[in-house]
Chains A and B, each alone.
Chain A
């Protein structure tokens, strides 16, 4: 009701000293209304359980071409169409290169394995350059520090 009444009050009346309290109250009311109007982001979020999108273990590919590794469909034999024959050559070379690359990947030594091997090798070579006395000192130090652990032959990991 107050809001409705105050709508009729003129600006001049509201500026008078005795009206100050009601002006403040009106402003407060207006602010509250505006705040309700401003819709925050939470308003749009549904209050549901978080939708879990599990990453699928499968790739669905509906093409036979990739499944069966089909060859390129245009082929020419005994020089009937040299252009196509050139293409065929390129295709077969590509395939061979892919195959050899894959083979190399399988057979070659991985980075991590390489690093591990090198680090163990460093220890062995470093030992070679230490003098006998240093070695014996080291040994005695070790014996003092902890219980004597016998070095075993480390099986090289494949």
Chain B
């Protein structure tokens, strides 16, 4: 019996190595969230749908609202506190993440970045350990910002489920592209379920937020249809 790809798995389920498709003799299988290697078996830790991607990536797709930090994730956080050289940033995890003032592009000891309490930052997780405080940075390994840093100039931040945030960033999802064909806007999606949207005016921003929230359980065709309807409605409102 092969591993039940695309089916529901429950914590405690286990498969042996034989049940998994191996990509190659020399390549390793990548176990994503919800799966753990134990002895010679693979145990399921979360209830959800078992997913597989070539070449040899397995993970469990399940509904989340609480963000669990993992290394390399891009998140949207809110600066809550300034403690000495660090900022405490709320990224939705059980503990606040720390962000050093030196981990901004062009920041030096003398030249501090302009970050205030209440600012929204787009950052990457550098340290994500279950026993330690997560640490985020706003630069890549070359010291460039590459799109990270403080997100300024208004806009609207809202919280979604983690699934929706991932759906928005999935290459197969058409929502942002079809909205982009109709509206002029900017969006920052963190995999921690925080989404920041800014459009030309308030009507558009509200419409975009509602569209994003409504798209959680819609497929691509329904999303296209909805985008068409929304853009019509918005253009009518703007005329009035």
Contact = CB atoms under 8 A, between A and B. Distances in A.
B169 A67 contact: no
B116 interface: no
B37 interface: yes
B17 A66 contact: no
Chain A CB count within 10 A is highest, among B32, B166, B170, B190, for B32
Contacts of A66: 30, 32, 57, 72
B104 interface: no
Which secondary structure characterizes the binding site on chain A?
loop
Given A73-B189, A73-B190, A62 B184 contact: no
Contacts of B71: 62-63
B31 A64 contact: no
A59 interface: yes
B144 to A, nearest CB: 10
A104 interface: no
Interface stretch (B83-91, B175-183, B209-217, B222-230): B175-183
B53 A73 contact: no
Interface string A67-102: 111111111111111001001000000000000000
Nearest to A86: B147
Interface in B185-201: 185-191, 198-200
B118 interface: no
Interface string B139-152: 00000001100000
Contacts of B122: 73-74
B112 interface: no
Interface of A: 56-81, 84, 87
Q: Which 10 A-B pairs have the closest CB atoms?
A: A77-B180, A67-B32, A78-B184, A70-B169, A63-B70, A76-B186, A73-B189, A62-B70, A67-B59, A81-B186
Interface of B: 17, 22, 28-33, 35-37, 42, 51, 53, 57, 59, 68, 70-74, 76, 122, 128, 146-147, 162, 166, 169-171, 176, 179-181, 183-191, 198-200
Given A63-B71, A71-B169, A80-B199, 16 more contacts: A57-B22, A58-B37, A58-B42, A61-B31, A68-B51, A68-B53, A70-B171, A70-B191, A73-B188, A73-B190, A74-B147, A75-B180, A75-B189, A80-B184, A80-B198, A87-B147
